Amino acid sequence: MQHILSGARIFDGAEFIDDHVLVIEDGFISAILPRGQAGEPTHSCDGIIAPAFLDLQVNGGGGKMVDCSTDLAALRHICETHRNLGCAGILPTLITDTADATAKVIEAGIAAAESGVPGFLGLHLEGPHLDPRRKGAHDPALVRPMEEADLARLCDAARTLPILMVTLAPEAVTPQQIATLSGAGAIISLGHSDCDYDAACAAFDAGASCATHLFNAMSQMGHRSPGLTGAVLSRTEPNAGLIADGIHVHPAAMKAALAARTDGIFLVTDCMAFAGTTLSEMTLNGRPVRREKGRLTLADGTLAGADLRMDRAIATLVGDVGIAPERALAMATVEPARAIGLDHRFGRLAPKRSADLVLLDDSFTLRGIWADGEWQRPLD
């Protein structure tokens, strides 16, 4: 069946295309044509049509966390929740936990991949091989160096899962372990680290290709000691996630980072089980997390993930940071797709691409998701 979407500006992943219509046939984009060259529109809408988002750091959603209880049904539920929040795909993320919990989540991830769970791209394991000095909300009792059994488990998972991202600190691993894990197909992201600039560069040279939530839980950039932050911003090859809620990173710091790096920085929500719900409290490794005034905190005030939707992150970049809408939208679409090697499938609107779309209003608030031949309403 053919659908012709008209009336909205079209963001194709790189630029806005005005006065055009989007033609969809059998779930795929067949053409982007000047208005009037494709017959009568079947759907008229205002605002912005853009590629659906990708989120590479999703700790939970719909009331469920990725944790020791996670199974196939839980991953399906979390992916569905985030599809309703505008994400074509996510990396469900396990925060530092036990070896048994890690093994169980990997097992569930493999089952999700084999079952073709919509929106499931793979897994992100954030820890436990971190630096306790930069633990953030991670349980320090569970943070530990990587051992050979850990490396073998992760290499097996990287070879089996469609995508495996692993956040680790250079202090907790060796360069050879990074090289081995990267060679097995894992995407290595540096984070929760107090390493110096040279150690960060050595880890990138060994095979790390990304950094987790830039600025947060990492050594900062000083004029004599650039740290991990400086390594990310001064090099051209690492990608980096950014939590753009205006709480985790000051708008001025985001502006400076995006001036230093013209590409390679992508948005993440770092959201918890609260996403898509009205919950006010949950637990993380047995510790209560409170949701209040846009913040998620442990009892001591430590930030514990973010109360953030991807559309609100885009709005923050445009409204508070002053980033061009094209770049802000790219940071939620094509930039994360590139970071995980899926820009051939996601992040752009073009003929023969799957019609994974979102509809945003002029304030970048999510108003619809294209599914089943119709614009579907997002969750409240």
The amino acid at 17? I
Angle (deg, nearest 10), helices 99-115 and 72-83: 70
Q: pLDDT tens, 317-331? A: 999 999 999 999 999
Q: pLDDT tens, 231-283? A: 999 999 999 999 999 999 999 999 999 999 999 999 999 999 999 999 999 98
Q: C-alpha distances in angstroms, 117 versus 89, 110, 112, 139, 347?
A: 10, 10, 5, 30, 19
Distance between CA atoms of residues 290 and 274, nearest Å: 10
Matching fold, domains 2-50+349-376 and 53-339: no
- Mean per-residue pLDDT over the chain, rounded: 96
DSSP code for 171:
G
Confidence of residue 379 (pLDDT cuts 50, 70, 90): low
CATH fold of 2-50+349-376 reads Urease, subunit C; domain 1 (2.30.40)
Give the whole-number percent of the chain exceeding pLDDT 90: 93
270 has catalytic annotation: yes
The amino acid at 379? L
CB 44, CB 20: distance < 8 Å: no
Q: C-alpha distances in angstroms, 254 versus 180, 233, 287, 317?
A: 33, 11, 30, 8
Residues in the chain: 380
Instruction: State the Cα angle at 110 between 141 and 313, rounded to 5°.
Output: 70
Confidence of residue 37 (pLDDT cuts 50, 70, 90): confident
Indicate if the pLDDT at residue 377 is higher than 80.
no
Q: C-alpha distances in angstroms, 39 versus 28, 42, 77?
A: 18, 9, 39
Residue 316 has a pLDDT of: 98
Beta-bridge partner residues of 221: none
Average pLDDT over residues 196-201: 98
Looking at 138-142, 287-291, 370-374, which range is the least confident one?
370-374
In sequence order, which ranges of 6-147 are alpha helices (DSSP H)?
Answer: 72-83, 99-115
Q: pLDDT tens, 148-186? A: 999 999 999 999 999 999 999 999 999 999 999 999 999
Distance between CA atoms of residues 349 and 370, nearest Å: 13
CB 281, CB 299: distance < 8 Å: no
Distance between CA atoms of residues 130 and 108, nearest Å: 23
Indicate if the pLDDT at residue 39 is higher than 80.
no
Residue 106 has a pLDDT of: 98
Q: Which CATH class is domain 53-339?
A: alpha beta
The model's pTM is: 0.96
Residue 297 has a pLDDT of: 94
Confidence of residue 42 (pLDDT cuts 50, 70, 90): confident
Distance between CA atoms of residues 131 and 218, nearest Å: 9
Average pLDDT over residues 296-319: 95
SS3 of residue 219 by DSSP: coil
Give the residue with greater pLDDT, 44 vs 89. 89
Residues 6+ apart with CB under 8 A from 308: 243, 244, 245, 269, 270, 271
Distance between CA atoms of residues 70 and 7, nearest Å: 42
Confidence of residue 372 (pLDDT cuts 50, 70, 90): confident
Q: pLDDT tens, 340-349? A: 999 999 999 9
Distance between CA atoms of residues 38 and 22, nearest Å: 9
Distance of CA 110 to the CA centre of its chain: 19
In sequence order, which ranges of the chain are alpha helices (DSSP H)?
Answer: 72-83, 99-115, 148-160, 175-183, 197-206, 227-234, 251-260, 310-316, 325-330, 334-339
Distance between CA atoms of residues 100 and 110, nearest Å: 15
Closest Cα partner for 207 from 193, 226, 187?
187
DSSP code for 73:
H
Domain boundaries, the chain: 2-50+349-376, 53-339
Catalytic residue among 194, 270, 307, 311: 270
Q: pLDDT tens, 86-127? A: 999 999 999 999 999 999 999 999 999 999 999 999 999 999
Indicate if the pLDDT at residue 380 is higher than 60.
no
Residue 314 has a pLDDT of: 98
